[in-house]
Amino acid sequence: MAQRLRLEGLAYGGDYNPEQWPEEVWAEDVALMREAGVNLVSLGIFSWARLEPRPGEFDFGWLDRIIALLHEGGIRVDLATPTAAPPAWFQKAHPDVRPVTADGRVLGYGARQTYCPSSPEYAAAAARITRELVARYAGHPAVVLWHVHNEYGCHVARCYCERSAAAFRDWLRDRHKTVDALNEAWGTAFWGQRYDSFDEIDAPREAPTAVNPAQQLDFRRFSSDALLALYTAERDIIRAADPDVPVTTNFMAGLSDNLDYWSWAREVDLVATDHYLTAERADNQIGLALSADLTRSLAFGEPWLLMEHSTSAVNWQPRNIAKRPGEMARNSLAHVARGADGVMFFQWRASRAGAEKYHSAMLPHAGTDTRLWREVVDLGARLRELAPLRGSRVRAQVALVWDWESRWALELEYRPSVDLDFRERIDAYYERLWRAGITVDFVHPGADLSGYRLVVAPSMYVTRAAWAENLRAWVRSGGTLLTSYFTGIVDENDAVHPGGYPGALRDVLGVRAEEFLPLRRGETTTLVAPPRMDGAAAAPGTASRWAEDLALEGASAVLQHADGPAAGRPAVTRHAFGAGTAWYVATAPDTGTLDALLRAALADAGVHTPSGLPDGVERVRRVGADGRDREIVINHTLSDATVPGPEGPVSVPAGTVRVLASEPLESVGSPTDQ
Ligand code: GLA
């Protein structure tokens, strides 16, 4: 159960790095924060070298002073443990904590995150600074949230040094118990990889060719767990000393695939994430929405915190495209629409020096006489007006299955086609649902599905027997499942479910494929409705990437390939199973066909598809505990739009956001500048 932040209204603020500025600037910072309506800052994220300038010697004076200033100014603190930036003295004293890459390169320091996740010296030093920090600030009235580390796994997600290999062996002993069980699970009979003892096993370092896939998959799991253990160690130190203040760490949901956030999500008191647009993409609001929906799902529907995004350009993309007027507010309110109870930025004041000096900030290099600053102030005012949204929920009837194990396994070598890509298929389905105005949750394949009417599983390649049973039981009891190709193929060890594809779900889908028939680069096939059957799509459509030598075993063909390697074979099937329905989309259909298929599956599931939503307009409902729903309508286009409202059409000018309350209809706040 997420603990609520001791804050009024929605959180607004950003990373604050006062140590980059002379103390004279701090008073101005606090005054400007107040002007902008900032109520929360993340403090001390990279301050280890300032807080512990020499081993065991601590200097908290400056932090005392800035926390006091912030407190006097009524600004709350999200206090960070500084462990993402071990100081130079630590690196000099422990050269073997430097991470090693799969190809044996030892990484240096002078940046950040230079540490091996399995280093006992790092863990001890991180625990010591955490203990000192929390002993000093536990119970401080300004500190409302603890921010452990920063973006675990962002730069170093996996280390291949000797100590990591030893820790991996311990993890394997725990998971597999005996080396015989490991040999069986990994299929080491193949290529003579049999191990006689755990001691013979190495990290999956770069080898002449593909390292055992189950070994690689276990190493991904181990590496996520190794970082999680560092997080929980710091969290437990904090909890013991300051039990009433929630503890979090900032995820990179939808951006990074290094950590299995389903297991991490259980360990935080409040889910927080960072999100950065892929700035060059014209439709980047869809990736933003996906990240926000995924974050809400990691929070199991509870409100969450957007810990970082950017006011304008970042500094690390090939072309750091600046946000145009109104875009920062649209981005911010899109996160709020999807369940965020706060909007924070990296960072408060733009740095003059260092690697991120060209990253935008709330207070730009050019100061307060800027369009950006005025928008920051306006956004603060708007968020204050939207305070009643706090604590309200987003409800979804449709879920997309998201699983990091499938993603990791699909990244391994030697798959049937390079076009098999977890994220590509998820994005293909998410985008069509977003454009249809359907709000989705993401679910783990083993999750309780009883609250959903339609579950879409585009890339559930790893399908443990228990997960298949979870889906089977849910469809049998009346659910509608739509899966895409290369789902249900392997177990947790990347071993194929035998008997024909998609092994684990054949009975539910009512189909059986003998062989995969991947298409050539750029090749398409024609999709048609089979003779004498009702097509769900207006035929003909086209398919790309994938086909299968698929036979019906109880399902009906909805579409078939008219040409190509699977000519005459079903491409899309529908199967009545128990009280439910299971669709199988055994190819990548064009978007019009995909839309039609999704409409048909939504109709099977009894999900209402909103009408009258212009393309590029986003509309999401937050359901208030007070019984008042509020809908956030965001016009991402350059044209004025009109959407249906409870009391007639509502205009949403180009590039603006309107918040509609259910009863009576009202507009909260004013449209953003355009
Ligand atoms: C990440 C980090 C921040 C900063 C931003 C820049 O989110 O957490 O410290 O580097 O990226 O976009």
Q: What is the CATH number of the domain that holds 549?
A: 3.40.50.880
Note the pLDDT of residue 531.
Answer: 65
pLDDT tens per residue across span 432-487: 999 999 999 999 999 999 999 999 999 899 999 999 999 999 999 999 999 999 99
560 in the same domain as 588? yes
530 in the same domain as 508? yes
- Whether residue 116 lies inside any domain: the answer is no
Residue 628's pLDDT band (cuts 50, 70, 90): confident
- Whether residue 534 lies inside any domain: the answer is yes
> What span, in angstroms and rounded, lies between the C-alpha atoms of 597 and 661?
33
Helix (H) or strand (E) holding 596: helix 591-605
> What span, in angstroms and rounded, lies between the C-alpha atoms of 603 and 580?
12
pLDDT tens per residue across span 329-373: 999 999 999 999 999 999 999 999 999 999 999 999 999 999 999
Are 436 and 610 in contact by the 8 Å Cβ rule? The answer is yes
Note the pLDDT of residue 670.
Answer: 38
Task: Choose which residue among 20, 151, 295 to substitute to test ligand 1 binding: the one with the highest number of ligand atoms within 8 A of its C-beta.
Answer: 151
> What span, in angstroms and rounded, lies between the C-alpha atoms of 370 and 380?
16
pLDDT at 321 over 80: yes
pLDDT at 550 over 50: yes
- Domain end, chosen from 576, 605, 634, is at 605
Question: Does residue 151 have its Cβ closer than 6 Å to ligand 1?
Answer: yes
Residue 416's pLDDT band (cuts 50, 70, 90): very high
Q: 292 C-alpha to center of ligand 1: Å?
A: 17
Closest residue by CA, ligand 1 atom 10 = 356
Question: Does residue 242 have its Cβ closer than 6 Å to ligand 1?
Answer: no
> What span, in angstroms and rounded, lies between the C-alpha atoms of 69 and 354?
26
559 in the same domain as 463? yes
363 forms beta bridges with 349
571: Cα separation from own chain's centroid: 31
pLDDT tens per residue across span 222-254: 999 999 999 999 999 999 999 999 999 999 999
- Domain end, chosen from 583, 605, 627, is at 605
Instruction: Report residue 469 as tokens.
Output: 């049973």
Are 485 and 530 in contact by the 8 Å Cβ rule? The answer is no
**Residues with Cβ within 8 Å of residue 231, at least 6 apart in sequence:** 148, 149, 152, 249, 264, 267
537 in the same domain as 657? no
> What span, in angstroms and rounded, lies between the C-alpha atoms of 59 and 139?
19
> What span, in angstroms and rounded, lies between the C-alpha atoms of 31 and 244?
29
> What span, in angstroms and rounded, lies between the C-alpha atoms of 597 and 5?
42
Note the pLDDT of residue 674.
Answer: 30
Q: Is 534 exposed, middle or buried (0-12, 13-18, 19+ CB in 10 A)?
A: exposed
> What span, in angstroms and rounded, lies between the C-alpha atoms of 343 and 336?
8
641 forms beta bridges with 652
Question: Does residue 309 have its Cβ closer than 6 Å to ligand 1?
Answer: no
> What span, in angstroms and rounded, lies between the C-alpha atoms of 272 and 340?
9
Domain that holds residue 552: 398-605
pLDDT at 668 over 50: no
The least confident of 111-125, 302-316, 644-658 is: 644-658
pLDDT at 510 over 50: yes
Residue 647's pLDDT band (cuts 50, 70, 90): confident
652 in the same domain as 551? no
662 in the same domain as 595? no
Question: Does residue 293 have its Cβ closer than 6 Å to ligand 1?
Answer: no
Distances (CA, A) of 514 to 188, 417, 517, 550: 25, 16, 10, 7
Note the pLDDT of residue 540.
Answer: 84
- Whether residue 646 lies inside any domain: the answer is yes
Task: Choose which residue among 312, 356, 360, 362 to substitute to test ligand 1 binding: the one with the highest number of ligand atoms within 8 A of its C-beta.
Answer: 356
- Domain end, chosen from 605, 625, 640, is at 605
Note the pLDDT of residue 627.
Answer: 77
308 is known as an active-site residue: yes
625 in the same domain as 588? no
- Whether residue 535 lies inside any domain: the answer is yes
Question: Positive or negative, the Cα torsion across 74, 80, 85, 90?
Answer: positive
| CATH number of the domain to which 627 belongs | 2.60.40
pLDDT tens per residue across span 131-172: 999 999 999 999 999 999 999 999 999 999 999 999 999 999
- Whether residue 297 lies inside any domain: the answer is no
Residue 533's pLDDT band (cuts 50, 70, 90): very low
Phi, psi of 542 (to 5 degrees): -125, 155
Matching residue, tokens 């109870």: 341
Question: Positive or negative, the Cα torsion across 357, 362, 366, 372?
Answer: positive
Choose the catalytic residue: 52, 308, 375, 492.
308
623 in the same domain as 586? no
Closest residue by CA, ligand 1 atom 7 = 274
> What span, in angstroms and rounded, lies between the C-alpha atoms of 556 and 671?
50
Note the pLDDT of residue 354.
Answer: 98
Closest residue by CA, ligand 1 atom 4 = 346
The one-letter amino acid code at 170 reads D
Q: What total of structural domains would you count in the chain?
A: 2
446 in the same domain as 576? yes
- Whether residue 594 lies inside any domain: the answer is yes
- Whether residue 473 lies inside any domain: the answer is yes
pLDDT tens per residue across span 563-577: 999 999 999 999 999
Closest residue by CA, ligand 1 atom 12 = 314
Closest atom of ligand 1 relative to the 150 alpha carbon? 8
Closest residue by CA, ligand 1 atom 9 = 346
Note the pLDDT of residue 209.
Answer: 97
Average pLDDT over the chain, rounded to whole? 95
368 forms beta bridges with none
Find the mean pLDDT for residues 293-301: 98
Note the pLDDT of residue 671.
Answer: 38
657 in the same domain as 588? no
∠ Cα 76 376 656 (to 5°): 125
Where are the strands (E) in 180-320, listed by range? 247-248, 250-251, 272-274, 304-308
575 forms beta bridges with 582
629 in the same domain as 495? no
pLDDT at 672 over 50: no
- Whether residue 498 lies inside any domain: the answer is yes
Question: Positive or negative, the Cα torsion across 105, 110, 111, 113?
Answer: positive
pLDDT tens per residue across span 370-391: 999 999 999 999 999 999 999 9
637 in the same domain as 580? no
Phi, psi of 484 (to 5 degrees): -110, 180
Q: 525 C-alpha to center of ligand 1: Å?
A: 43
Are 40 and 76 in contact by the 8 Å Cβ rule? The answer is yes
Matching residue, tokens 């926390």: 67
